[in-house]
C-alpha cells in the first residue's frame, strides 16, 4: 500500500491576523479609557479630602490663636523698689537723674498644686482641645526682710509679683491673700518686660500667702 501523506497545514489568512490585532487594540484602548475614567472620581475624592484637611488646620489655628501658647510661671516674688538721685559731672555741666533699683525676696516656703482640665472648643464642624490649669500657690513670706537700703536711696511701696510668659493665658483675675487679707491685684508684673500681675503691699507685710489663678 502506498504511504499515507500528512494532512496539509492550514495557514491563517492575512485578513484573520489583522482582525485579531484590531480586537486586541480595541480591548486595550477600552481598558485604558476605563482606567482613566476610574481615576477621575478617585482624584476628586483626594482633592476633597485635602481641601477639608486644609479647612480643619485653619479652624484649629483660629481656635488655638484665641488661647495662649506654652506658659512659664515665675513667682511669686516679693519686690522692694528704691529710688535714688544720681549726679554726673562731664566737665562742662552737671546732669542729675533718678535711678530705680529693685531688691527681690523669694518665699521662705512655696507649695504648688496644679489641676489640669480639657475644654473642647468648636469652630463650625471642627473641634480642638484646649487645656486649662487651675493653679494654687501657697507659702510664707518674711514679715520683716533686711533690704539693706542704700544710704542715698528712698524705699517705695513693695509689691508681690507674679510673671507669665503669655498674659493671654489668664482667663480671670487671680485672687491673692496675705496674712488672711485679700490684696488688690493689678495688671503688669513689674519685672522688666515680663507680663503678669502684681499686688501692692504694706512695708511690714508678711506671713502666709495664697494665690489662685486659672491659666489656659
Q: What is the pLDDT of residue 148?
A: 72
| Bridge partners, residue 135, by sequence | 114, 213
9: in domain: no
Q: What percent of the chain has pLDDT over 70?
A: 82
Burial of 196 (0-12, 13-18, 19+ CB in 10 A): buried
159: in domain: yes
Residues 102 and 183 grouped into a single domain: yes
Number of C-alpha atoms within 13 angstroms, CB side, residue 20? 6
User: Against a cut of 0.95, is the pTM above it?
Assistant: no
Q: What is the pLDDT of residue 119?
A: 77
Range of the domain at 56: 15-66
Q: What is the pLDDT of residue 14?
A: 54
Regions in the chain scoring below 50 on pLDDT = none
Residues 42 and 84 grouped into a single domain: no
Residues 119 and 49 grouped into a single domain: no
**Residue range 117-150, pLDDT digits in tens:** 887 777 777 777 777 888 888 888 876 666 677 7
Q: What is the pLDDT of residue 66?
A: 66
Q: CA–CA separation, 169 vs 122, rounded Å?
A: 19
Amino acid at each position: 500500500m502506498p504511504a499515507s501523506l500528512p494532512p496539509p497545514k492550514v495557514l491563517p489568512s492575512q485578513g484573520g491576523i489583522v482582525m485579531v490585532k484590531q480586537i486586541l487594540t480595541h480591548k486595550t484602548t477600552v481598558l485604558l479609557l476605563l482606567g482613566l475614567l476610574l481615576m477621575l472620581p478617585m482624584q476628586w475624592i483626594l482633592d476633597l479630602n485635602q481641601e477639608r484637611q486644609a479647612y480643619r488646620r485653619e479652624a484649629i489655628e483660629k481656635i488655638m490663636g484665641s488661647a495662649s501658647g506654652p506658659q512659664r510661671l515665675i513667682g511669686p516674688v516679693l519686690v522692694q523698689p528704691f529710688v535714688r538721685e544720681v549726679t554726673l559731672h562731664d566737665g562742662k555741666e552737671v546732669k542729675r537723674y533718678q535711678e530705680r533699683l529693685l531688691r527681690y525676696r523669694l518665699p521662705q516656703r512655696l507649695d504648688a498644686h496644679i489641676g489640669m482640665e480639657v475644654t473642647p472648643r468648636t469652630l463650625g464642624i471642627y473641634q480642638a482641645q484646649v487645656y486649662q490649669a487651675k493653679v494654687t500657690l501657697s507659702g510664707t513670706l518674711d514679715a520683716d526682710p533686711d533690704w539693706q537700703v542704700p544710704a542715698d536711696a528712698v524705699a517705695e511701696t513693695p509689691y508681690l509679683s507674679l510673671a507669665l510668659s503669655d498674659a493671654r493665658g489668664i482667663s480671670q483675675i487671680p485672687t491673692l491673700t496675705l496674712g488672711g487679707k485679700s490684696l488688690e491685684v493689678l495688671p503688669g508684673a513689674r519685672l522688666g518686660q515680663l507680663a503678669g500681675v502684681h499686688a501692692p503691699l504694706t512695708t511690714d507685710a508678711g506671713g502666709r500667702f495664697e494665690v489662685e489663678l486659672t491659666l489656659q
